[in-house]
């Protein structure tokens, strides 16, 4: 097999890259180790930045998101038992976030690729990368016991944190920076009506809690727990008791209980791989960086990385120039480090750290008091939360449908 861009991984990064390149007439093959049902059923993120929403719309895959997603103008921060609203729309000149589940974005992208005759190979085993320092890099994999090889012009490694692509960049030129947090998130999906019109991020002595939503019938909530805890220790009753303890407030606000239809625990880390490219290999999304989920940045960074990469590849195929491709890591990392900073800041401000003294807890409360009472500080939170601009030097890109030949 031969293709222009071989893409490893059918997560948000890989599928969006395949879709954006298709719109520019560039051929791709996506190789995914899981089945279509699995990738369309994995419950993860929910918050889409304004730029992500604009790009999904401009590239023609936003129709269902516009109908079924929930636009939020603000978020609430709760501490000392009181809630404080950050009006993001007002503070950012009209930008908002959309709550629309990641697996729904995946379904929309897979449907668009399938409809356009795009090639996605599911259930691929033993995926490996070869000859990335040459002009003919190759992806090898097994499917139903048979060996296959795809010869490419470029490889995009969009295979998440545990995939093989990052490891294909030689150790000697790869630096990895990371921080592992002593917290985990227990996430649930519950069949209840919405609890609140906007997300609530809660700092509580018993630990962080987050109230989110999915639909009029299903809500998504998270509790800070020990990252090594076993989900079996968390009965539905225990989860509701803990959510009541952390979120119910003095003004009579009370969590709504209902059947829990899904629950799991994830650990939290911050991680950045520098560089994000070597030879003809470019890595994007969680393959290159991880953020703790508190800032809701992971999926959005995956989308901004592949936006840069798609522009670089487009420039190459249109003019033979590699200006953008050569600067791919540099351009992406500028935005990634700012999202790292924001996610780290939100995480440390909102979680209870067992190693902290009452002094550090008081500093968290002062930070929250400051951020909710100062226009300067709340503007900074709002502009980061709705998403910093996508930048491509020399391109002066404005996100509108005219900039993509949809």
- Which residue from 3, 28, 102, 343 is in contact with ligand FAD, where contact means CB under 6 A? 102
How many residues are listed for the chain in this entry?
Answer: 406
The option from ligand FAD, ligand DHB, none interacting with 263 (CB < 5 to 8 A, set by class) reads none
Question: For ligand DHB, which is the closer residue by CB, 293 or 387?
Answer: 293
Q: Which stretch binds ligand DHB (CB under 6 A): 21-29, 88-96, 274-282, 288-296?
A: 288-296
199 binds ligand DHB (CB under 6 A): yes
Nearest to 20 by CA among 336, 313, 343: 313
Question: For ligand FAD, which is the closer residue by CB, 17 or 319?
Answer: 17
Q: Which stretch binds ligand FAD (CB under 6 A): 12-20, 76-84, 223-231, 317-325?
A: 12-20
The residues facing 99 across adjacent strands are: 47, 70
Own/partner contacts of 80-87, CB < 8 Å, gap of 24 or more, are: 80/365, 81/249, 81/250, 82/249, 82/250, 82/251, 83/200, 83/249, 83/251, 83/253, 84/368, 84/372, 84/373, 85/198, 86/371, 86/372, 86/378, 86/381, 86/382, 86/385, 87/382
Question: For ligand FAD, which is the closer residue by CB, 80 or 103?
Answer: 103
212 binds ligand DHB (CB under 6 A): yes
Selecting among 72, 138, 263, 351, the annotated active-site residue is: 72
195 binds ligand FAD (CB under 6 A): no
DSSP 206-249: T--EEEEESSSSEEEEEEEE-TT--GGG--HHHHHHHHHHHH--
Residue 331 φ/ψ region, left for φ over 0, alpha for ψ in the -120 to 50 degree band, beta for the rest: alpha
First to last CA, the chain: 27
184 binds ligand DHB (CB under 6 A): no
300 binds ligand FAD (CB under 6 A): yes
The option from ligand FAD, ligand DHB, none interacting with 163 (CB < 5 to 8 A, set by class) reads ligand FAD
12 binds ligand FAD (CB under 6 A): yes
- Which residue from 8, 17, 30, 47 is in contact with ligand DHB, where contact means CB under 6 A? 47
- Which residue from 124, 296, 381, 382 is in contact with ligand DHB, where contact means CB under 6 A? 296
DSSP state of 155: E
Distance between CA atoms of 250 and 242, rounded to whole angstroms? Answer: 16
347 binds ligand FAD (CB under 6 A): no
Question: For ligand DHB, which is the closer residue by CB, 12 or 157?
Answer: 12
Residue 358 φ/ψ region, left for φ over 0, alpha for ψ in the -120 to 50 degree band, beta for the rest: alpha
Return the residue matching tokens 């649930």. Answer: 188
Q: Does residue 201 have an active-site annotation?
A: yes
The residues facing 220 across adjacent strands are: 189, 212
Selecting among 19, 22, 95, 297, the annotated active-site residue is: 297
Nearest to 184 by CA among 239, 266, 271: 266
Nearest to 243 by CA among 108, 59, 78: 78
Q: How many CA atoms lie within 13 A of 254 on its CB side?
A: 5
Q: Does residue 22 have an active-site annotation?
A: no
One symbol per residue from 15 to 54: x for binding ligand FAD (CB under 6 A), - otherwise; what is it? Answer: ----------------xxxx----x----xxxx-------
Selecting among 12, 137, 292, 293, the annotated active-site residue is: 293
Q: Does residue 359 have an active-site annotation?
A: no
**Site for ligand FAD, rule CB under 6 A:** 8-14, 31-34, 39, 44-47, 102, 124, 127, 158-160, 162-164, 185, 187, 266, 285-286, 293, 296-300, 302
Catalytic residue numbers read: 72, 201, 293, 297, 385
């Amino acid at each position: 097999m031969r293709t222009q861009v071989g893409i490893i991984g059918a997560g948000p990064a890989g599928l969006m890259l395949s879709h954006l390149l298709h719109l520019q007439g560039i051929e791709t093959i996506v190789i995914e180790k899981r089945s279509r049902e699995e990738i369309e059923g994995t419950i993860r993120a929910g918050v889409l930045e304004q730029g992500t929403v604009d790009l999904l719309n401009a590239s023609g895959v936003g129709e269902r998101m516009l109908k079924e997603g929930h636009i939020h103008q603000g978020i609430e921060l709760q501490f000392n038992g009181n809630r404080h609203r950050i009006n993001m729309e007002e503070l950012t000149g009209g930008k908002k976030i959309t709550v629309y589940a990641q697996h729904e974005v995946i379904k929309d992208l897979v449907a668009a690729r399938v409809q356009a005759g795009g090639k996605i190979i599911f259930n691929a085993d033993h995926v490996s990368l070869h000859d990335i320092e040459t002009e003919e890099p190759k992806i090898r994999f097994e499917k139903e016991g048979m060996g296959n090889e795809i010869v490419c012009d470029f490889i995009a490694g969009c295979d998440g944190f545990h995939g093989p692509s990052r490891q294909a960049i030689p150790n000697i030129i790869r630096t990895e920076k990371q921080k592992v947090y002593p917290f985990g998130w227990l996430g649930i999906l519950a069949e209840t009506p919405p609890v609140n019109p906007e997300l609530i991020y809660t700092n509580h002595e018993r630990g962080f809690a987050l109230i989110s939503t999915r639909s009029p019938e299903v809500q998504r909530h998270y509790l800070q727990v020990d990252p090594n805890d076993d989900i079996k220790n968390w009965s539905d009753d225990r989860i509701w008791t803990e959510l009541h303890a952390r979120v119910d407030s003095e003004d009579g606000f009370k969590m709504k209980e209902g059947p829990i239809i899904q629950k799991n625990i994830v650990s939290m880390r911050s991680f950045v791989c520098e560089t994000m490219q070597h030879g003809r290999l470019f890595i994007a999304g969680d393959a290159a960086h991880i953020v703790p989920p508190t800032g809701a940045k992971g999926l959005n960074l995956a989308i901004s990385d592949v936006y840069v990469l798609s522009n670089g590849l487009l420039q190459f195929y249109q003019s033979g120039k590699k200006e953008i491709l050569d600067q791919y890591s540099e351009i992406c990392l500028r935005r990634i480090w700012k999202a790292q900073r924001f996610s780290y800041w939100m995480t440390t401000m909102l979680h209870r750290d067992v190693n902290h003294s009452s002094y550090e807890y008081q500093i968290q409360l002062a930070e929250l008091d400051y951020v909710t009472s100062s226009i300067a500080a709340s503007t900074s939170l709002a502009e980061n939360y709705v998403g910093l601009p996508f930048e491509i030097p020399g391109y002066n890109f404005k996100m509108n449908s005219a900039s993509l030949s949809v």
